[in-house]
Structure 1
């Protein structure tokens, strides 16, 4: 900074006296900031380079970019110190530092400095990188007990998993507390209850009724009074028009108060007063007072004219649950149903049956076989445990290990417990053991066959290996490249691979946060539940299409297609798509949509319910697509609060923010993609103007929001400026330009996604020393035209995936 000031002084004066003074000042400055004033632990080659190239800007109380080499030190065992040195390494390697307008350093000095720094970072990481045991996360636990016993059980009470580097599969964030162990004891009981079943058969319901019968049978004055107002009586049932409120007695599906369990339901329905399908939605659980569990069963298209049958299967988690039908996207009436001219749904016969779970459970038979519990012996218990243990531990089990669990059984029997009660103690101990709860990743340098089978299975299925993977591991052939490739293909085509889609996209793209904020109903009255569900479904189907057909990773940022249903297509302003079914849709060549950055799910999770932030969206793009994570802002820099009344835009406020030297370095990279995405509002709608709740201003042309029919109260604010200038000088005039700029570097996209997938798959942070392995995977993927499926294969075949 001092050097820059002197140079400015020279240019301004041009006099010999000024030049002489400046030379003296430069000499004094160079002495003041000499290598002797840098921390002593910095290696000589690095210190020399910094002294000659960097300290004029990066020193003192207000250094450029917040990086002061005279204060940083070289304790690379400290993660924050290491992060800063890695940042400096990357900036110099990319040629961004020193800045282009400054004198370029000698290439040999640059190379020597970077080589020394890289070597020091790798050594520090090898000393700091202790092996961390990786635990099954909640979802993996749920899937594992399902596949271990082949039983459908919903586990409740396990604590939330921590996220590290964006994923809940990283061992570092999966510690086990005393509270968690108590939860695992309770979870084991839930599993064994589902496997062994209740002592007596549950009461089953076969409820056949009609809403019309319910009205007549009950003689309920409150409900009877609504006939002709909210509902229309017909010869076959009732016509409902309500998207919102429904009276209590109707939602019961004829006084159904069901015990917990899974139910199958059918409804005879048809749309009335409509030439196209009307949407029916069904809720389950406590649909009356909403004091307990309540959930969506589904949305269904009901065609007009002929009667059709809607079928659903749903699990009621708590006893006393009911089901509730509602229209969707229709206008309510509360006083003139008999003459109401708008669309509705006629509901006829209703059948609810369940619980439909087998009793005794099939899992019980698979566990116990045909043994007689009254005459079963210790030998029978041994056989059961020896069959369960290798699958539970996901590896061969030593005789001494099985003896430990058999000893628990024999002790329990000696206390006069029944055979089944004693066996349950042993099984519960297995489900709470470290060998079950943690990954057993052994081998000298690379994983052994069973550990590799486990890693592969949890990568693509979020569950334990099946019998085919286990057999290959037992035979010692799984690591054969051809066999491993065939297994990846098999796992990816299995229905279980849906977990890879939902779990990876849910964390990489932040889709799990889709419910974290609720959009302001005054500003965005068109937002509703179906739109939110449709947002996530689009992204998951888009991800699956690219994976299934091995399409280029470039599609993630610039595609010519997406997947839409009628609700989402309407939100995007795309015509010709109706109904609840999703389908592949070609996007207009001149339209704003294409790729993840323009999908409503991503746009919603990168905003809050009221406004968008170019900073938040810009950081998201850098971290998740471009792979350039940004450092945290300085402690003394406050956040920017938008003017919700619309007097100023965030762009205007950020212009002042960027004038601060401590902010400008990062914001020149962060802001451009964020500004380009300002053409999308917090719920992913395309916009050319902001919305505001100001008292004055132009009102929109529509009086009620589509689908929700809520009154529109917002006003039109200032125009949106979505133009930007990238830090390298490239201009962004529209969202299409941003997509094209990022898509022009498929290697960058590939590198970012490789790191994300590796973090998710191997369960640890990706370190500086992993970069050569990452680059090897990227280059292999480049040879396969950056195909997404090819990338998954390259990761599984990599040394990094197959190492501890």
Structure 2
């Protein structure tokens, strides 16, 4: 399929951008003779003057390769000539020697230009890496608030040039350091320990009034507790626990429960935090399957971030009652005795002991402060330290003591300065031809763990063996088996596949009443588990576009129309032979982040596939081309509206590549459901038979409008008739998929943009991965073993 090849099909104004060099004002880079000769002979007659072909005035382009946009256009021109697509067929053909000379000369010139501008940008820890690093450095579970959002460059927030430090950011780091030290050192005294035994029968409401008035209406009273039916409004907050003003910390909850009036498990969900009045901090604890019959116990641990937090249990996907609980015939959950106990953190905190050791802060002195800094600084700076490193921080301690502060307050000042220092906040990589062993350890740990190296990596860096290929491979294997590798899944998939944008739009409740919290959570979890399965078992990365399996729970399986999956726990599922699912492009998470809450756009999805899966981005649309507004009344389809764009010459070339993958996914709606008709709010549509949406029981108000047409024809004439044929087309070029994923991983791991000069490196990584049957784990190893990973 033509949209799978590496060279990019561009509008004529971009394709021919290389054709005028002989007649324009040049930048600092000298035009190679082979380039200028070909231009003079083949291009300027058509692309200069008052009315140049393609409405392009080439005199404004130039050959200043210091300019990123000009360099980008020249790289695209290089690709078009290399692919034999330029000059056009109706122009004078090129001799093979001419084409080779042009491509070789232009390639060498671009590489030299990039090398001259390849200044190393120090990379700051992004907010996620900062959080992970302070947790691992001090052995604490602190949650840091207030750090500024990080900019994304080339799709990732690990790229150095997008991680600048402003005055506002430094103020935020000062505040963050205080939060970290408060958590590390703990409160001045041991928090009170709570073991709260209660029952919903004993609860009062937020005003302190007994819940008796709700019994018989919303709840059914039993000998052991209450039967709860509510999945909507449900006043079952553990108010009595909230009134204890429990200190922030980690708590264990134990609920005695059983499902009633149901032959299958009923789902219980629990929320934690300030769940009653202000709801400043409310979070989901989890969803739990409650079987019918005998009592069962649900146990969880959860961290309350603020004093006075509590917990709130309620049903999920049950029918509510407001007036007849005693005779209500539908499923519910009987909740018996409840125990909440905590905080579970030991006293003194492990982090305090790890930092201060056996020091008695009431009698500690400068020698003790020096010992603390000697233990802390090598880990905080991720390298060996010398006396000069300690001196400045020790002076801060001494100044604070001289000003009358206690040892603990004075050492806080010194450590706060450490946490705000460039050596901590930046990944500094001393280098010559290779980065030093400690920088290599950090590069590896921030790639796979989004955090600082552990003791084993530090030890291997110290003895100089980390750069040994066998040692490096063993470390990658060890690190991928660690629970910390879940951070790679979160960080990389969150940005490569845009999973972080899952909440960017909220589906229209009238058009998609079945969308709810559990579906949203399940969407993301499917993709993360799918990613981990391919990575940890070294499966072919072709699975990302065409697989025979996925990971499902009951909620997501029913959304996909797959029977036989019961319970909210995820499990690996072999997809039916005729399934429309398979690969990330058919997963609900991707289908949601590539749509808005009302409609789908083949343009948006097509561009996303070209950029994120195939690595062949398209240029932005011309300024004079209007956007396409969705027709929620269903009078016209998006396919009909796009016809006018394809009729515009400056749009047609790009739409020939964008539209086929975009239209192929039109059979999926904005929340990833399979569809054969569009939903509409127009009265002309047909009301579906289903009166209430599954799980949410929201009333269906939409109608079914025009039929969906998800067929497409690619630029080379291949017909896409259905999702399986689309998946097969994508899977037919594993090198293209591997090239893109190698580029994505390298950008994420190295913290810099990839350039034209990196192409040989990427090609070598692709070759190595091809030899390992395109295994995804093998690709990660090839990236780590590549020269670029160990070079500045």
Report the TM range for the smaller structure's normalisation. Answer: over 0.9
Which residue pairs with 1:462 in the alignment?
450
Q: Pick closer, same or farther for the CA change 1:103–1:584 going to 2, 3 Å.
A: farther
1:121, distance to aligned residue in structure 2 (A)? 1.3
2-structure distance, mates of 1:303, 1:57: 76
1:130, distance to aligned residue in structure 2 (A)? 1.7
Q: Pick closer, same or farther for the CA change 1:400–1:713 going to 2, 3 Å.
A: same
2-structure distance, mates of 1:371, 1:550: 48
1:128, distance to aligned residue in structure 2 (A)? 2.1
Which residue pairs with 2:73 in the alignment?
84
Q: Which moved more, 1:624-633 or 1:370-379?
A: 370-379
Match of 1:185 among 158, 165, 174: 174
SS at match of 1:696: coil
Are positions 1:151 and 2:140 aligned together? yes
Q: RMSD of the TM alignment (CA)?
A: 2.0
2-structure distance, mates of 1:591, 1:406: 65
Larger radius of gyration: 1
Once the two structures are superposed, what CA deviation does each residue of 1:548-569 show, in whole Å capped at 9, x if it has no partner?
Answer: 1100010000000000000000
Are positions 1:760 and 2:745 aligned together? no
Which residue pairs with 2:271 in the alignment?
283
> Where do residues 694-713 of structure 1 align in structure 2 (5 Å cutoff)?
694-713=682-701
Which residue pairs with 2:717 in the alignment?
729
1:258, distance to aligned residue in structure 2 (A)? 3.0
Which residue pairs with 1:412 in the alignment?
400
Which residue pairs with 2:761 in the alignment?
773
Q: What is the aligned residue count?
A: 771
SS at match of 1:225: helix
Alpha-carbon contact 1:539-1:596 (below 8 Å) kept:
yes
1:35, distance to aligned residue in structure 2 (A)? 7.5
2-structure distance, mates of 1:35, 1:307: 81
Q: Pick closer, same or farther for the CA change 1:576–1:60 going to 2, 3 Å.
A: farther
2-structure distance, mates of 1:40, 1:169: 35
Which residue pairs with 1:552 in the alignment?
540
1:95, distance to aligned residue in structure 2 (A)? 2.4
Q: Pick closer, same or farther for the CA change 1:332–1:112 going to 2, 3 Å.
A: same
Once the two structures are superposed, what CA deviation does each residue of 1:578-623 show, in whole Å capped at 9, x if it has no partner?
Answer: 1011000001122211001100000000000000000000000000
Which residue pairs with 2:418 in the alignment?
430
> Where do residues 626-637 of structure 1 align in structure 2 (5 Å cutoff)?
626-637=614-625
Q: Which moved more, 1:420-429 or 1:465-474?
A: 420-429
1:39, distance to aligned residue in structure 2 (A)? 4.6
1-structure distance, mates of 2:565, 2:709: 30
1:70, distance to aligned residue in structure 2 (A)? 3.8
Match of 1:605 among 593, 600, 616: 593
TM-score normalised by L of structure 2: 0.94
1-structure distance, mates of 2:519, 2:709: 26
Which residue pairs with 1:517 in the alignment?
505
1:249, distance to aligned residue in structure 2 (A)? 6.0
1-structure distance, mates of 2:502, 2:96: 48
Alpha-carbon contact 2:242-2:308 (below 8 Å) kept:
no
Alpha-carbon contact 2:253-2:341 (below 8 Å) kept:
yes
Alpha-carbon contact 2:234-2:314 (below 8 Å) kept:
yes
Q: Pick closer, same or farther for the CA change 1:649–1:99 going to 2, 3 Å.
A: farther
Q: Which moved more, 1:408-417 or 1:137-146?
A: 408-417
Which residue pairs with 2:152 in the alignment?
163
2-structure distance, mates of 1:255, 1:198: 21
1-structure distance, mates of 2:53, 2:775: 40
Alpha-carbon contact 1:147-1:463 (below 8 Å) kept:
yes
Q: Which has the higher contact order (CA 8 A, sep 6+)?
A: 2
Which residue pairs with 1:22 in the alignment?
none
> Where do residues 280-679 of structure 1 align in structure 2 (5 Å cutoff)?
280-679=268-667
Once the two structures are superposed, what CA deviation does each residue of 1:412-441 show, in whole Å capped at 9, x if it has no partner?
Answer: 222232222221111111111000000011
Which residue pairs with 2:736 in the alignment?
748
Once the two structures are superposed, what CA deviation does each residue of 1:330-380 show, in whole Å capped at 9, x if it has no partner?
Answer: 000111100000000000001111222222111111222222223323222
Which residue pairs with 2:115 in the alignment?
126
1:79, distance to aligned residue in structure 2 (A)? 0.8
Once the two structures are superposed, what CA deviation does each residue of 1:710-754 show, in whole Å capped at 9, x if it has no partner?
Answer: 000111111111111111221111111111111011000000000
Alpha-carbon contact 1:453-1:473 (below 8 Å) kept:
yes
2-structure distance, mates of 1:158, 1:61: 53
1-structure distance, mates of 2:786, 2:586: 33
2-structure distance, mates of 1:245, 1:136: 42
Q: Pick closer, same or farther for the CA change 1:458–1:47 going to 2, 3 Å.
A: same
1-structure distance, mates of 2:204, 2:184: 41
Q: Pick closer, same or farther for the CA change 1:755–1:336 going to 2, 3 Å.
A: same
Q: Pick closer, same or farther for the CA change 1:49–1:378 going to 2, 3 Å.
A: same
Once the two structures are superposed, what CA deviation does each residue of 1:244-300 show, in whole Å capped at 9, x if it has no partner?
Answer: 001376666685643322211111000000001000001111212344111111100
1:212, distance to aligned residue in structure 2 (A)? 1.3
> Where do residues 76-115 of structure 1 align in structure 2 (5 Å cutoff)?
76-100=65-89, 104-115=93-104
TM-score normalised by L of structure 1: 0.93
2-structure distance, mates of 1:506, 1:756: 12
Q: Pick closer, same or farther for the CA change 1:371–1:550 going to 2, 3 Å.
A: same
Which residue pairs with 2:12 in the alignment?
none
Alpha-carbon contact 1:59-1:71 (below 8 Å) kept:
no
2-structure distance, mates of 1:547, 1:350: 40
Q: Pick closer, same or farther for the CA change 1:226–1:449 going to 2, 3 Å.
A: same
2-structure distance, mates of 1:225, 1:267: 23
Q: Which moved more, 1:354-363 or 1:492-501?
A: 354-363
Q: Pick closer, same or farther for the CA change 1:684–1:251 going to 2, 3 Å.
A: farther
1:191, distance to aligned residue in structure 2 (A)? 1.1
